[in-house]
Chains A and B, each alone.
Chain A
Amino acid sequence: MQTLNNEAKTNQTKKYSLIDTDIHERVMYEDLFPYLEQPWRRYIEDCNWQQEKHMPFTQPAVAGVDRADAKTPDGKPAGTSLPFMQEQLLDANNHEVGILTGALDPSPSSMHGWYEMATALASAYNDWQINEWLDKDSRLYGSVHIAAQEVGNAVKEIERVGSHPKMIQVLLPIDDIAWGDPYYHPIFEAAERHDLMIGMHHNEPPAPLGKWPRYFIEWHSLIATSHMAQITSMIFNGVFEKYPKLKLMMIEGGFTYVPFLMKKLDQQFKDLRHEVPWVTTMPSDTIKNRMAFTTQPLEEMSRKEWNLLVEQMGTDEIICFSTDYPHWDYDSPDEAVPKGLEDDVLERIYGENARKFYPKLPARGDI
């Protein structure tokens, strides 16, 4: 008999507790209507309003930016059905926890203008996420969506839903705002109050030239540069000194750029500390102690190459496995990680690092 996912057969992850740190549920505007107040709903219903798309590419794989086998059985776009996600991802791979990272595509925080609409959309999205996903599957945990452009409203939204027991982070898009800017610090303060971490996921960043490159392959190859820009901004704007409980999860940039960034930031800090005297910790220590990185899209590599990267970072406790389901560059839990890593390493990257990172995740076996 044909199994749903042939890849599930090797069963590498079945031994470990799997916490998947990047899963994309998807909303259709009509699903948001029950949660969206007027006048906002009418702009979509009557005027066909849509968020502006930034990315001029839809061509990466057979079904665009989604796995071609992730369209729902009734023909709806990938990521729109909880039962299908349960069957194809959570049950098939024996997930203990799946962390939902959205998004409204692009994020409300990426909208250029009409921030009131962005705020309304973020609230509706959070209510939809809680009611339709988090409350319906004990394995799923969520991200608070905000419209960060108006910080006061963003803080109100964090106050409104941030204490939900299954909301574990505030999600910020990696786009054209550098989030370390003091204007956005009230967001971090509110997150810290609710034991929420910050998750940053690239939306459609115009990396690296301030405009789109000619080909998708150029943009996708350099996504990590936009992650580096955010880490640099957060560190040198003193966010981690100012908010001692706050941590930052960098989502969907992989981790192989981290050794370079640690060395570079440390070197710069030794010389240029005087410009940012509020920073008191070596950047590489901040990265080790206050950040983590989701694995996907993981470059194919040998165990030896993996170990060299870990040796340069000085730790593997900042690496958290992710699939990025249902997108085209999905990483299979059984296949993406190099073969032959030791059991204790796999246990950390598949689950325990993420559990340690997010204070609101349950203890092992408590779901």
Chain B
Amino acid sequence: MAAVICREEELEKQEMIPGSVDNIPVFVCRTSEGEIRAFIDRCPHQGACMSKGKIDGAPMSTAPGEYSFEHEGDIVRCPWHGREYNLRESGKPLAPVKGKLKEFSAYVKDSYVYVELKRGS
């Protein structure tokens, strides 16, 4: 089962467009490199609507007191408790916990973005 979520040209980087496929809430977005990705629009923690959050980078560090800002445009942050998931690593959380943001496959056909309910790569 697949459904159209938006027109390809509507989808900007760092933006999430919500929709649904067979009553499953999903959102589509672009990675920092412009590739289109689709995920469930429901945080694995307490179920917040991810598309109301933000696509951002993430503070990282190699030593206490040192900050770097990495993965810019590839991290989606939940609107509630702010948990971070990597768009380019199949929705893997940045904290060392279980619970990926489920990815679906997205594709473009005739200038429309489709999401299909089989798991993305």
> Which A residues fall within an 8 A CB radius of B?
1-7, 9-10, 60-63, 67-69, 328-332, 334-336
Contact = CB atoms under 8 A, between A and B. Distances in A.
Contacts of A331: 46
B46 A6 contact: no
Interface string B71-88: 000000111111000000
B57 interface: no
A62 B18 CA distance: 18
Given A5-B47, A62-B53, A335-B45, 19 more contacts: A2-B25, A2-B49, A3-B25, A5-B48, A6-B42, A6-B49, A7-B42, A9-B47, A61-B81, A61-B82, A62-B56, A62-B78, A67-B48, A68-B54, A69-B49, A69-B52, A69-B53, A331-B46, A335-B47
B14 interface: no
B47 A61 contact: no
B20 A62 contact: no
B15 interface: no
B20 A1 contact: yes
A9 B48 CA distance: 11
Contact of A5 (B20, B49, B53): B49
Interface of B: 18-20, 25, 41-42, 45-49, 52-54, 56, 77-82
A7 B43 CA distance: 9
A328 B46 CA distance: 12
Given A61-B81, A61-B82, A2 B18 contact: yes
B74 to A, nearest CB: 16
A2 B19 contact: yes
Given A6-B41, A68-B79, A328-B82, A62 B46 contact: no
Contact of B77 (A62, A69, A332): A62
Given A69-B49, A332-B46, A6 B82 contact: no
B48 A69 contact: yes
Contacts of B56: 62
Given A3-B25, A7-B42, A332 B18 contact: no
A6 B25 contact: yes
23 contacts: A1-B20, A2-B18, A2-B20, A2-B49, A3-B25, A6-B47, A6-B48, A10-B47, A61-B81, A62-B79, A62-B82, A67-B48, A68-B53, A69-B48, A328-B80, A328-B81, A328-B82, A329-B81, A330-B80, A330-B81, A332-B46, A335-B46, A336-B46
A60 B82 contact: yes
Contacts of A4: 49
Q: What are the 4 tightest A-B residue pairs by CB atom distance, in nearest-first order?
A: A7-B47, A61-B82, A68-B79, A69-B52
Contact of B54 (A5, A62, A334): A62
Contacts of A61: 77, 79-82
Residue among B45, B52, B56 with the most chain A CB within 10 A? B52
B49 A67 contact: no
Contacts of A336: 46
Interface centre among A6, A60, A67, A331 (most CB of B within 10 A): A6
B80 A67 contact: yes
**Interface centre among A1, A4, A63, by most B CB within 10 Å?**
A63
A333 to B, nearest CB: 10
Contacts of B52: 68-69
A165 B47 CA distance: 36
Nearest to A214: B65
Nearest to B42: A6
Q: Which of B19, B77, B81 has the most chain A CB atoms closer than 10 A to its own CB?
A: B81
Contacts of B49: 2, 4-7, 69
